[in-house]
Structure formats: C-alpha cells, structure tokens
C-alpha cells in the first residue's frame, strides 16, 4: 500500500479552501482535487429537510441573517451561499457524489436528526450505495448513539474537541469506527487507546503539510483538510 492510500484525506466541508463551504461546488471541487472522502455538516430544518450547513446562523456564509431555523425552506433556498450556490440538501449532495467518494455526514443538530439521516442513508443503501461509503459523525454523542441504534450497520465516528478522562472510551461504547479529534487535542495516549481498540483516528482541520506529516508520524490515520490537494501532493513525495 502506498503512503497516499494508507493515510485518509478528507475534504473538509467539501474543499473549503477553494469553494464556498458545504455547497455542491465545494463537494464537487473536493472530489475533483482527488479527495477520497468529503465531509459536510447536516442540520434538520423545522420543515423536515436535511440542510447541509455549518452554523446556527446565516450571517457568516450567506447573504441572509439570523437563525437558519427561523426561516422557511424556500426562503433559505433563495439565499446565496457563495458564488451563486444555494444551501443544498443532504439528498442533493449524495446525488452529486453518486458513490464517487466516501461521505462523512456530520450531524450538527439533534432531536430527530439521527432518525432523518438514517432514513435517507437507508434509501441510498437500498439504491446500491455500499455501507463503507458512509461515515456518520457528531459532537453530540447521544444523537450519534441514537443513529447507531437506528442504523447499526453504518460506520460512525465520535467527534471530540478535548481529551476525555476515559480516553477513547466514548468511541468504544458507541461502536465507532473512528475517533475524529481536534488538532488542538492530539494526545499520544488517546491515539494509542483508540488503536488498541481497533478505532482509527482522524484529525481536523489540518491545512499544513508539515503538520500532516507530524500527525502521521504519531500514528494518526487521516486528516480533514480544506485543501485536499496539499495532503495528496505532500504524501506523494514521501
């Protein structure tokens, strides 16, 4: 196995360094740059739609303002999420990806998000998507637990922005395939504990090739990056 394939490169919010985050353009750009996985954020809107969007509010990434949940579906779809892109739905992203790469669906909201996402994934698996093409993650570990109960066959990743007392214990309890860890909290003991239990460690968000190499040297299995091409080029010359 080559160095490039042994280290998983995940396009963050598609390829946020090159296109407006969490848009179809960003997802397509991440794929075009060679990322074997793309990550994006999903929220359950009061209309029942699953929207691909990071913040609770519209101000930073669109020409709208205020809370996303306070706006109707059609009004949200009329907004510009950057370069004329609209806020996409989960289904639109999956249709665009069309099994070309793996998808890491991050559950941003709780209270029904797990159930709604499990329903969508079930439909796409029934239509031929392999379960290995999915990784569902969340910082909201109870919501991720709910997802795992509803769709135990789909791999999940526990998101952490800290170092828990019981190291990788939460990932183990969730039956997680991966521990997705903030670059601020990379600790060799956490990596060792995850690996001892067969859990891979991915680190977010890493845009510097020297840092990617350092993490790989520590045994980290992959990174989320806004610039997938940097990781791919960086490791091709190792």
Active site residues: 12, 54
- 41 near Mg ion, judged by CB under 5 A: yes
The smaller minimum CB distance to ligand G3P, of residues 55 and 80, is found at: 55
- 28 near ligand G3P, judged by CB under 6 A: no
Considering CB distances under 5 to 8 angstroms, the limit depending on partner class, which of Mg ion, ligand G3P, none binds residue 122?
A: none
How would you label 193-221 residue by residue, b for 16+ Cβ within 10 Å and e otherwise?
Answer: bbbeeebbbbbbbbbebeebeebbeeebb
Q: Which residues contact 139 (CB under 8 A, 6 or more apart)?
A: 159, 160, 161
How far apart are CB 13 and Mg ion at their closest, in Å?
Answer: 6
- 39 near ligand G3P, judged by CB under 6 A: yes
CA end-to-end span of the chain, whole Å? 13
Measured N-to-C along each axis, helices 113-126 and 141-150 cross at an angle, to the nearest 10 degrees, of 40
Exactly one of 113, 137, 178, 225 binds ligand G3P (CB under 6 A); that residue is 137
Binding segment (CB under 5 A) for Mg ion, from list 99-107, 115-123, 165-173, 208-216: 99-107
Handedness of CA 13, 23, 142, 120 (dihedral sign): negative
Residues that bind Mg ion (rule: CB under 5 A) add up to a total of 2
Residues that bind Mg ion (CB under 5 A): 41, 106
């Amino acid at each position: 196995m080559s160095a490039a394939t042994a280290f998983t490169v995940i396009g963050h919010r598609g390829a946020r360094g090159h296109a407006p985050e969490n848009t179809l353009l960003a997802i397509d750009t991440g794929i075009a740059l060679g990322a074997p996985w793309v990550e994006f954020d999903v929220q359950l809107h009061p209309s029942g739609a699953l929207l691909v969007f990071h913040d609770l509010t519209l101000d930073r990434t669109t020409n709208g303002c205020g809370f996303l949940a306070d706006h109707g579906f059609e009004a949200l779809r009329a907004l510009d999420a950057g370069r004329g892109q609209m806020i996409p739905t989960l289904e639109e992203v999956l249709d665009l990806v069309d099994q070309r790469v793996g998808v890491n669906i991050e559950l941003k909201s709780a209270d029904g998000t797990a159930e709604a996402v499990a329903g969508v994934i079930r439909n796409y698996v029934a239509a031929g998507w392999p379960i290995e093409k999915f990784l569902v993650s969340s910082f909201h570990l109870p919501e991720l637990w709910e997802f795992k109960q509803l769709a135990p066959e789909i791999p999940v990743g526990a998101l952490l922005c800290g170092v828990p007392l019981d190291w990788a214990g939460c990932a183990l309890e969730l039956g997680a395939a991966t521990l997705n860890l903030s670059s601020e909290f990379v600790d060799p003991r956490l990596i060792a504990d995850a690996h001892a239990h067969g859990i891979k460690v991915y680190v977010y968000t890493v845009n510097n090739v020297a840092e990617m190499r350092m993490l790989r040297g520590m045994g980290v299995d992959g990174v989320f990056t806004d610039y997938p091409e940097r990781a791919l080029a960086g490791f091709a010359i190792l």
